[in-house]
Structure 1
Amino acid sequence: MGKNGDLSDFDRGRIVGARRTGLSISETADFLGFSRTTISRVYREWSEKKKMSSMRQSCGRKCLVDVRGQMKMDRLIRDDRKATVAQITTRYNEGVQNTISERTARRTLKQMGYSNRRPHRGPVLTAKNRKLRLQFAQAHQKWTVADWKNVAWSNETRFQLQQSDGRIKIWHEQQESLDPSSVGSPVQTAGGVMVWAMFSWHKLGPLVPIEHSLNAADYLRLAADHVRPFMTTVYPSADGYFQQGNVLHHNAEVISSWFLEHKSEFGVLQLPPQSTDINPIEHLWDAVEREIRIMDVQPTNLQQLSDAITHVWSKISEECFRHAVESMTQRIEEVLKANGGPTRY
């Protein structure tokens, strides 16, 4: 938006709010970056006509977050760029009569131009994997949320005893560059807990601690002990797909044979390599690490860390994991736009 262009309701609210706190026209202009003429005009229109919008009011349900609410959201973001939507919603609802849901907070932040993503630190995509990612996105671009509800997502990950910021996302406005220095460099430590988990739109699945990196035999036990019971319970009509990645043990012959034996109960959806941004379980891993990071008493040994991971996983809200699945249509769209390249997820 240009300085001489039509101001958004949010910017008008910021101007009015700044003037009402006692800032002069010049101070408001310096603080917000608009001209003194613009500051004077907007505040005069509000004072004389209570005008807070330059656009025609549209029909429909009244917005739950007004201009003042957006200003409060803006302050909350700037106070803590690493805050989760749940944390922002809780802080916003403190002391207000008309509380909002996480969905409303997320939608409002998007309307205000905020995005939530992590700095890209992964390995550079190979040309082959970029092509495979694009092919996967093209094959699933017509899938709707209803289709993605039939997929159970899975993956394993490691949580460090010394919390790493490597997966932490930060809020930034669309016109801002995403500066990795704002979250610092990831902390490297040997003390960590490996876990595997699965979930779907319908239900949060099991979380299983892993003592060492998985091999084919370990993965086969996971499939028999956890994948099959989950799939046959959640998808009794045999219309579900179990998602897995492309690591070595996922493609072992014994694993392929096992899934083939059970193809009458559920199918398999295999993601292309280097595609954690397509897998919505990463959204849940982010949520778990954030919650552990803000605990009043931080884990000091691996057993405490394991207990914390298990506890936080079990408390993930239905809204959180359903939103992760509902984001799949957007994730596929982002891969298509990037021509198979890395995305904002």
Structure 2
Amino acid sequence: MGKKGDLSDFERGLIVGARRGGLSISETAAKLGFSRTTISRVYREWSEKEKISSDRKLCGRKCLVDVRGQRRMARLVQADRKATVTQITTRYNRGLQKSISERTTRRTLRQMGYSSRRSNRASLLSAKNKKLRLQFALDHQNWTIEDWKNVAWSNETQFLLQHSDGRVKICRQQHEIRDSSCLVSIVQTGSGGVMVWGIFSWHTLGPLVPIEQCYDATAYLSIVADHVHPFMSSVFPSSDGYFQQDNTPCHKADIISDWLLEHDNEFTVFKWPPQSPDLNPIEHLWDVVEQEIRIMDVQPTNLQQLRDAIMSIWTKLSKECFQYLVESMPGRIKAVLKAKGGPTRY
């Protein structure tokens, strides 16, 4: 693999997780697609310094936006906290001989400490929900990784054909999470997307189910009956598994509650705190799938191609990837405790 910018903390975490799981340097390199030198360096840095983040500077070709350019971009961001990337790019290029693209603007904003997240992760937390999140963290602060291995994580999401169909992605610095007064919005138009529901545990990936119809309680009942039930029975035959679902209205419908009650001797349903996508590791699996789609040599041009790409990428997710996410749960709980139920970096 040729030179590239330094790995993200997430990628470095995958490497450390794979090596700690017993894989050799060569096996880790083959599974994750990095060079053996990179695998060796990252794991050595972790072993010596016990840190995931890197102090290395980016390598490769010269950055199009230097320090002076970053200061210029920072002024544009501060002048209009709700400007789109398109607007920031246009304003930045005014009076310059060499213009930059929107892609360069996004990359520069990330380097400056602004991170893009789905808008539902950035919704403001109410005092009541902070209290519920804190209570959940207190109740599970002594859970070990072995405990979290007994949880099946589920959720639904939509993958968009053209990155976005009008939904907003929030781009803010770490200390500005969920601060509605300082948004940099990335808004693009698109032509629809594909909605899917998925489930996984530390032990295995479960099915990924395309949602073709209106996603209501009836549709969700079919999912829990046809997919949740066999998954829990297969992965947790001793009936010691926990099923996690969020508080989407159709998940709380009477017909769903009745079905879950009928099967309460087979698995336990988590009492999940509201507004807590940062506690659900499946959110990061969605990000991995989306990133893989966006780096495909041939981009999907219609919904069927997008659906096929999503399903294919899901089946190829490495065990090290989703196991590492489950193993991050103690850290997520500690982060919620530290934030007193508030938002976290996850």
Asked if TM exceeds 0.5, the reply is yes
Shift of 1:253: 1.1
- Residue equivalent to 1:125: 125
- Residue equivalent to 2:206: 205
The CA deviation string for residues 58-111 of structure 1, in whole angstroms up to 9 with x for no partner, is xxxxxxxxxxxxxx99x623xx87995579x969944x6684498778887625
* Cα pair distance change 1:113/1:327, threshold 3 Å: farther
Alpha-carbon distance in 2 for matches of 1:314, 1:230: 16
- Residue equivalent to 1:134: 134
Contact 1:241 1:266 in 2 (8 A): yes
* Cα pair distance change 1:199/1:92, threshold 3 Å: closer
Shift of 1:134: 1.0
Alpha-carbon distance in 2 for matches of 1:291, 1:117: 21
1:145 aligns with 2:145: yes
* Cα pair distance change 1:101/1:312, threshold 3 Å: farther
Shift of 1:212: 3.9
Alpha-carbon distance in 1 for matches of 2:156, 2:38: 40
- Residue equivalent to 2:161: 161
1:112 aligns with 2:54: yes
Shift of 1:254: 1.1
The CA deviation string for residues 224-261 of structure 1, in whole angstroms up to 9 with x for no partner, is 10000000000000000110111111111111111111
Aligned letter for 2:155? N
Alpha-carbon distance in 2 for matches of 1:188, 1:332: 36
- Residue equivalent to 1:21: none
- Residue equivalent to 1:263: 264
CA RMSD of aligned residues (A): 3.9
- Look up the SS of the partner of 2:196 in the other structure: strand
Contact 1:84 1:290 in 2 (8 A): no
- Look up the SS of the partner of 1:244 in the other structure: coil
- The 5 A counterparts of 1:225-264 are 225-264=226-265
109-118 or 198-207, larger mean C-alpha shift: 109-118
1:76 aligns with 2:18: no
Contact 1:93 1:100 in 2 (8 A): no
- Residue equivalent to 1:303: 304
TM-score by length of 1: 0.66
The CA deviation string for residues 7-46 of structure 1, in whole angstroms up to 9 with x for no partner, is xxxxxxxxxxxxxxxxxxxxxxxxxxxxxxxxxxxxxxxx
Alpha-carbon distance in 2 for matches of 1:272, 1:231: 21
* Cα pair distance change 1:131/1:150, threshold 3 Å: same
Contact 1:194 1:212 in 2 (8 A): no
In structure 1, stretches of 5+ residues that fail to align are: 1-71
Alpha-carbon distance in 1 for matches of 2:39, 2:252: 48
Alpha-carbon distance in 1 for matches of 2:214, 2:272: 20
Shift of 1:119: 4.1
Alpha-carbon distance in 1 for matches of 2:267, 2:215: 23
The CA deviation string for residues 116-150 of structure 1, in whole angstroms up to 9 with x for no partner, is 99445421111221111111111111111111100
Shift of 1:191: 1.0
Aligned letter for 1:132? L
- Residue equivalent to 1:43: none
Alpha-carbon distance in 1 for matches of 2:44, 2:221: 41
* Cα pair distance change 1:329/1:214, threshold 3 Å: same
* Cα pair distance change 1:327/1:118, threshold 3 Å: farther
Contact 2:171 2:186 in 1 (8 A): no
Larger Rg: 1 or 2?
A: 1
Contact 1:219 1:249 in 2 (8 A): yes
- Residue equivalent to 1:323: 324
1:333 aligns with 2:334: yes
- Residue equivalent to 1:191: 192
Contact 2:245 2:272 in 1 (8 A): yes
- Look up the SS of the partner of 2:158 in the other structure: strand
- Residue equivalent to 1:60: none
Shift of 1:167: 7.1
TM-score by length of 2: 0.66
* Cα pair distance change 1:218/1:339, threshold 3 Å: same
